[in-house]
């Protein structure tokens, strides 16, 4: 197998693998390229998300992906993907550390867009009403493109803000994760009300070697 | 800590390949016995200031784990299909000084007495190379105690009715209970089971020169920023260096063990950071490179005398790979648990540890209560027809503080075709033939995992969970427990090392790490890897002093 074939196989599999079990998800992207100064690259996180900040997407693509992200994790009483700048994370990641999957992602996005326009008389996804967007996504949520967008949205909401997403910790606030360096007990409701460990006693007792 | 620095080409008593759970202990024991020791580690030397709370880096970008870009591997489920590079490294380990003991969860269960003699107790099992160990629990017990007191393990002795006999209590009390532990114990007591405080290789109070755990919550997959996790990086390695007899040479990748015409090991060839090759002579060589890399190094160390790899006259090098299986459930509760705080695990159940053939299959295991993985992994978790996007998906994510995992950890049977071998074409960034993993769970392993998952669900229901969900048990295509590939045994025709970790074929070549295992235990191997290393170090030191190497 040639090295290019290897890369293609890896790229294809990474694209398809995002709905597996916990451990599958957990290690899914462990083959993706190394950090490659991504952290430095993402250090300057702008407060306002505007198309001018996109590197991988053009304005129209960015708007469409942002609209998809906003349906994956909607805004509401708590922040959603839009407030967490998930699309900004996706843009940065595809132009840096996840670049090997970028060509396939771009292809998938173009197919998504053309399929949407075909059923919506040329309207862009971002310009459609939420009802129309949701109805369409229900027909398209099994595609590798959607799965990859879903995974990148999650990474963009819940990993460190230094990568350009999870803006001001919006994703962590939404899920109830406190970004603090040290904790002390009690940690939660149930251990705060724990009476203490009661030994099981005889017949086991102390056994000595 | 600066240890000894050997001159280029300077003869040493021992070369130890690998600085992880086993290599660190070997270096410590042999240098404290008065021998000069040069430890080779392929990865970098990092310290507390280098480690971060960065989920993307460590879980998704090979931050400290073996990087497929430079150290690729292939996988196949059976020997009759072509192995291919996979999205996940099939033999996954941490590649830095301290090895996988840097990023492990630090669950430190001892094996039980039955683990060493199940073949005699239960008989043969179709499709498995099921054997007793050549050593007993009683022979290893003093070294388990040594791990607890020298490396640093917290726990509560005699708390589990199923614990094997022990000669001393733990040196530190257990870590504070978490809400997941309270709930596991609550469910267990209702069902007549016995949850007990988890033994962990984490300092629950100041231990030797290390501070107590700060309960930051980033254990599994992360390096400890507090030096509280009892990794080789913070324990055996600096203690070995403190003898003045040991050098740890990081970023130095051993790719060949050399032998002479008499069939003795003469030293190793390695690449330095600039990929320049060097020869390092040694009077004896110890491989503690982990259950995948030790086998690969032997298989790559061919010569005219050893055309099928070193120490491989039995043909057993690389065979009988075991990953451990397991079956988990997720559970949501009414109130907040906040499992992302503190160590991974605070309660364990060993009621199902022993195999019971009346179940209709072989297997045993333990259950622990644990943190959900970190935020992104939690959000990506699937199973049980969970919502995948939209308002329902957001609701599920927002249950994060109210959720936990009950995790089963179970046996893997030794199967001859499950193996680490050399890929026929793929090479790593240094041009060295790469690891090929062949693996398919024995049917009993899958049944046991399912059995344990059902028990986990019952316990969570009994604890009052509002919602319990699970993934289907699946065949494994990668492992983080790399066990059994150079098994220990008395018979040179069916094993690679003897009961003192000496290879049957090469008198001054020793192997000690997960590869030495004969059976898999119940899913927490590092405690036993380190007990074996203390025992091996003791015996090898005595052999050396008696000039029996």
Q: Give me the interface pTM, i.e. the ipTM.
A: 0.94
Q: Which of B54, B62, B85 sits opposite A34 (nearest CB)?
A: B62
Any domain includes A57: yes
Task: Test A33 with B179 for CB contact under 8 angstroms.
Answer: no
Q: Which residues contact B316 (CB under 8 A, 6 or more apart)?
A: B486, B487, B494, B495, B496
Residue of B nearest to A35 (CA): B61
Query: What is the model's pLDDT at position B235?
Result: 98
> For residue B294, what are its two tokens?
């030790």
**B423 CB-contact burial (10 Å; exposed 0-12 / middle 13-18 / buried 19+):** buried
Give the separation between CA A178 and CA B546, rounded to whole angstroms: 58
Sequence-separated (6 or more) residues with CB below 8 Å from residue B312: B298, B299, B306, B496, B505
Q: Which residues of A fall within a CB distance of 8 Å from B183? A: 190
Nearest CA in chain B to A153: B376
In a domain? residue A86: yes
Element (H, E) at B267: strand B265-271
> Is the pLDDT score of A35 beyond 60?
no
The shortest CB-CB distance from B393 to any of A6, A73, A193 is to: A73
On the question of pLDDT at A44 being above 70, the answer is no
Sorted by sequence, the CB contacts under 8 Å of residue B471 that are 6+ apart come out as A21, A22, B328, B382, B383, B384
Q: Which two tokens stand for residue B100?
A: 């996988």
Q: Which residues, other chains included, contact B154 with Cβ-Cβ below 8 Å and sequence gap of 6+? A: B170, B171, B172, B173, B174, B175, B199, B200, B201, B202, B203, B204, B205
- Beta-carbon contacts of B125 under 8 Å, excluding residues fewer than 6 positions away, are B362, B413, B442, B444
Contact A97 B53 (CB under 8 A): no
Residue A38 has pLDDT above 60, yes or no: no
Coil, strand or helix at A191: helix
Q: What's residue A32's pLDDT?
A: 32
A121 occurs within a structural domain: yes
The minimum CA-CA distance between B305 and chain A, rounded to whole Å, is 31
For chain A, the domain total comes to: 1
Q: A156-166, pLDDT tens digit by residue?
A: 999 999 999 99
Read off the DSSP letter of residue B320.
Answer: S
Distance CA B185, CA B196 (A): 7
Q: Which residues of B touch A133 (CB under 8 A)?
A: none
Cα-based torsion angle of the residue sequence B83, B87, B90, B95 in order, rounded to the nearest 10 degrees: 130
Nearest partner of A155 among B49, B336, B544, B57, judged by Cα: B57
pLDDT at A170: 96
- Average pLDDT for chain A: 79
Q: Is A201 on the interface with B (CB under 8 A)?
A: no
Q: Integer distance in angstroms from the first to the last C-alpha of chain B?
A: 30
- Which residues sit opposite B366 in a β-bridge? B409
pLDDT of residue A97: 84
Give yes or no for residue A53 having a pLDDT over 80: no
Residue numbers of the domain that contains A50: 38-183
Say if A132 falls within a structural domain: yes
Q: Do B85 and A33 touch (CB under 8 A)?
A: no
B229: exposed, middle or buried (Cβ count in 10 Å: 0-12, 13-18, 19+): buried
Q: Which of A8, A17, A31 to mutate to test the interface with B (most CBs of B within 10 A)?
A: A31
Instruction: Show the CA angle centred on residue B490, arms to residues B512 and B166, nearest 5°.
Output: 60
Residue B199 DSSP class: P
Q: At what angle do helices A102-119 and A86-95 cross, to 10 degrees?
A: 130
Q: Which stretches within B402-525 are classed as H helix?
A: 443-462
- Helical (H) or strand (E) element with B473: none
Q: Least CB-CB distance to B388: which of A141, A159, A183? A: A141
Cβ-proximal residues to A114 (8 Å cutoff; 6+ apart), any chain: none
Give the per-residue SS3 of B331-369.
Answer: EECCCCCCCCCCCCEEEEECCCCCCCHHHCCCCCEEEEE
Neighbours of B352 (CB within 10 A): 22
Q: What is the pTM of this model?
A: 0.93
Whether residue A79 is predicted with pLDDT greater than 60 in this model: the reply is yes
How far apart, in whole angstroms, are the C-alpha atoms of residue B84 and residue B76? 7
Asked whether residue A76 is domain-assigned, the answer is yes
**DSSP helix/strand/coil, B301:** coil
Peptide bond before B178: cis, by omega within 30 degrees of 0?
no
Catalogue the long-range contacts made by A190-199 (C-beta closer than 8 Å, 24 or more residues apart): A190/B179, A190/B182, A190/B183, A190/B186, A190/B333, A190/B335, A190/B337, A191/B176, A191/B177, A191/B178, A191/B179, A191/B181, A191/B182, A193/B182, A194/B177, A194/B182, A197/B156, A197/B159, A197/B177, A197/B185, A197/B196, A197/B197, A199/B158, A199/B159
Residue pLDDT tens, chain B, 549 long? 578 999 999 999 999 999 999 999 999 999 999 999 999 999 999 999 999 999 999 988 889 999 988 999 999 999 999 999 977 799 999 999 999 999 999 999 999 999 999 999 999 999 999 999 999 999 999 999 999 999 999 999 999 999 999 999 999 999 999 999 999 999 999 999 999 999 999 999 999 999 999 999 999 999 999 999 999 999 999 999 999 999 999 999 999 999 999 999 999 999 999 999 999 999 999 999 999 999 999 999 999 999 999 999 999 999 999 999 999 999 999 999 999 999 999 999 999 999 999 999 999 999 999 987 789 988 988 766 789 999 999 999 999 999 999 999 999 999 999 999 999 999 999 999 999 999 999 999 999 999 999 999 999 999 999 999 998 999 999 999 999 999 999 999 999 999 999 999 999 999 999 999 999 999 999 999 999 999 999 999 999 999 999
pLDDT digits (tens, 9 = 90+) for A140-193: 999 989 999 999 999 999 999 999 999 999 999 999 999 998 999 999 999 999
Beta strands at B419-427 and B433-438: parallel, antiparallel or unpaired: antiparallel
User: What are the respective helix, strand and coil percentages of chain B, to the nearest 5?
Assistant: 25, 20, 55
pLDDT higher than 90, residue A45: no
Q: What is the reported pLDDT for B518?
A: 98
CA distances from A194 to A197, B112, B183 (A): 8, 29, 10
A173 touches chain B (CB under 8 A): no
Q: Which helix (H) or strand (E) holds A39?
A: helix A38-41
Q: Does some domain include residue A209?
A: no
Using DSSP, state whether A167 is helix, strand or coil: helix
Q: Is B343 left (phi over 0), alpha (psi -120 to 50) or beta?
A: beta
Model pLDDT, residue A4: 42
The conformation of residue B424, written as its DSSP 8-state character, comes to E
Would you say residue A66 lies in a domain?
Answer: yes
Count the helices and strands in chain B (H runs, E runs): 11, 17
Min distance B464 CA to chain A CA atoms (Å):
12
Q: Does A70 touch chain B (CB under 8 A)?
A: no
Chain B residues whose beta carbon lies within 8 Å of the beta carbon of residue A71: 389-390
- Bridge partners (DSSP) listed for residue B282: B12
Selection from B204, B158, B153 nearest residue B178 by Cα: B204
State whether residue A24 sits within 8 Å of chain B by CB: yes
Residues of A with CB below 8 A from B217's CB? 183
| Coil, strand or helix at B102 | coil
CB within 8 Å of A43: residues ≥ 6 apart? A162
Is the pLDDT score of A47 beyond 60? Answer: no
* Alpha carbon of B540: minimum distance to chain A alpha carbons (Å): 25
For B467, the token pair is 């919602």
Whether a cis peptide bond, with omega within 30° of 0, leads into B243 is no
Evaluate whether residue A142 is within a structural domain. yes
Look at A28 and B60 and tell me if their CB atoms are within 8 Å.
Answer: yes
What token pair was written down for B421?
A: 């071998």
Residues of B in contact with A191 (CB under 8 A): 176-179, 181-182
Q: Are B484 and B431 in contact (CB under 8 A)?
A: no
For residues B7 and A12, give the distance between their C-alpha atoms in angstroms, rounded to a whole number. Answer: 48
Q: Give the per-residue pLDDT at B76.
A: 98
pLDDT higher than threshold 70 for residue A202: no
What pLDDT does A1 receive?
35
In chain A the first and final C-alpha atoms are separated, in Å, by 56
């Amino acid at each position: 197998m040639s090295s290019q074939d290897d890369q293609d196989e890896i790229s294809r599999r990474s694209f398809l693998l995002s709905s597996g079990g916990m451990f599958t998800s957990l290690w899914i992207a462990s083959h993706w390229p190394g950090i490659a100064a991504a952290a430095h690259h993402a250090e300057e996180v702008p407060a306002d998300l505007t198309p001018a900040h996109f590197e991988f997407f053009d304005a129209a693509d960015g708007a469409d992906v942002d609209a998809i992200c906003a349906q994956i994790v909607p805004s509401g009483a708590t922040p959603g993907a839009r407030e967490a700048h998930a699309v900004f994370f996706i843009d940065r990641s595809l132009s840096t550390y996840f670049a090997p999957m970028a060509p396939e992602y771009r292809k998938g996005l173009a197919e998504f867009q053309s399929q949407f326009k075909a059923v919506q008389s040329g309207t862009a996804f971002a310009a459609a009403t939420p009802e129309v967007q949701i109805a369409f996504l229900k027909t398209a949520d099994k595609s590798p493109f959607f799965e990859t967008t879903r995974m990148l949205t999650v990474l963009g909401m819940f990993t460190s803000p230094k990568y350009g997403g999870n803006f001001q910790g919006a994703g962590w606030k939404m899920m109830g994760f406190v970004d603090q360096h040290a904790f002390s007990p009690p940690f939660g409701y149930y251990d705060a009300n724990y009476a203490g460990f009661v030994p099981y006693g005889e017949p086991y007792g102390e056994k000595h070697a | 800590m600066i240890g000894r620095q050997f001159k280029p080409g300077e003869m040493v008593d021992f070369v130890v390949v690998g600085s992880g759970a086993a290599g660190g202990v070997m270096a410590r024991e042999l240098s404290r016995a008065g021998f000069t020791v040069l430890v080779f580690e392929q990865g970098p030397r990092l310290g507390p200031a280098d480690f971060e709370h960065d989920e993307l880096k460590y879980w998704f970008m090979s931050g400290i784990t073996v990087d497929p870009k430079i150290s690729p591997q292939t996988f196949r489920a059976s020997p009759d299909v072509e192995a291919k590079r996979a999205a996940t490294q099939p033999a996954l380990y941490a590649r830095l000084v301290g090895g996988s003991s840097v990023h492990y969860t630090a669950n430190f269960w001892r094996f039980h007495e039955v683990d060493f003699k199940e073949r005699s107790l239960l008989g043969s099992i179709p499709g498995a190379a099921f054997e007793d160990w050549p050593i007993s629990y009683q022979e290893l017990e003093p070294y388990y105690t040594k791990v607890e007191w020298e490396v640093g393990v917290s726990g509560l002795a005699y708390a589990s009715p199923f614990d094997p006999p022990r000669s001393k209590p733990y040196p530190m009390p257990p870590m504070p209970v978490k809400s997941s532990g309270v709930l596991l114990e609550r469910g267990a007591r209702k069902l007549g089971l016995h949850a007990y405080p988890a033994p962990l290789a984490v300092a629950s109070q100041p231990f030797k020169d290390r501070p107590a755990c700060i309960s930051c919550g980033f254990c599994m997959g992360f390096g400890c920023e507090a030096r509280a996790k009892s990794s080789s990086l913070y324990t055996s390695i600096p203690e070995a260096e403190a003898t003045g007899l040991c050098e740890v040479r990081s970023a130095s990748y051993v790719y060949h063990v050399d032998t002479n015409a008499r069939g003795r090991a003469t030293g190793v060839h390695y690449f330095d950071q600039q990929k320049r090759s060097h020869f390092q002579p040694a009077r004896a060589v110890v491989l503690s490179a982990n259950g995948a890399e030790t086998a690969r190094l032997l298989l790559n160390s061919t010569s005219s005398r050893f055309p099928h790899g070193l120490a491989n006259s039995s043909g057993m090098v690389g065979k009988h790979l075991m990953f451990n299986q397991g079956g988990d459930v997720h559970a949501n509760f009414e109130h907040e648990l906040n499992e992302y705080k503190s160590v991974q695990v605070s309660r364990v159940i060993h009621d199902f540890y022993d195999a019971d053939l009346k179940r209709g299959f072989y297997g045993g295991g333990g259950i622990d209560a644990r943190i959900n993985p970190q935020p992104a992994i939690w959000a990506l978790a699937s199973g049980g027809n969970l919502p995948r996007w939209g308002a329902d998906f957001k609701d599920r994510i927002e249950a994060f503080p109210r959720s936990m995992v009950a995790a089963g950890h179970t046996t893997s049977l030794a199967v001859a075709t499950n193996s680490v071998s050399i890929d026929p074409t793929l090479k790593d960034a240094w041009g060295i033939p790469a690891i090929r993993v062949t693996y398919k769970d024995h049917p009993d392993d899958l049944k046991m995992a399912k059995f344990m998952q059902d028990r986990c669900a019952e316990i969570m229901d009994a604890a009052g969970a509002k919602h319990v969900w699970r993934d289907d048990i699946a065949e494994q295509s990668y492992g983080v427990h790399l066990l059994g590939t150079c098994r220990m045994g008395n018979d040179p025709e069916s094993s690679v090392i003897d009961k003192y970790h000496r290879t049957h074929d090469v008198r001054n070549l020793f192997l000690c790490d997960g590869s030495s295992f004969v059976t898999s235990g119940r899913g927490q191997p590092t405690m036993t890897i380190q007990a074996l290393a203390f025992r091996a170090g003791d015996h090898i030191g005595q052999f050396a002093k008696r000039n029996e190497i």
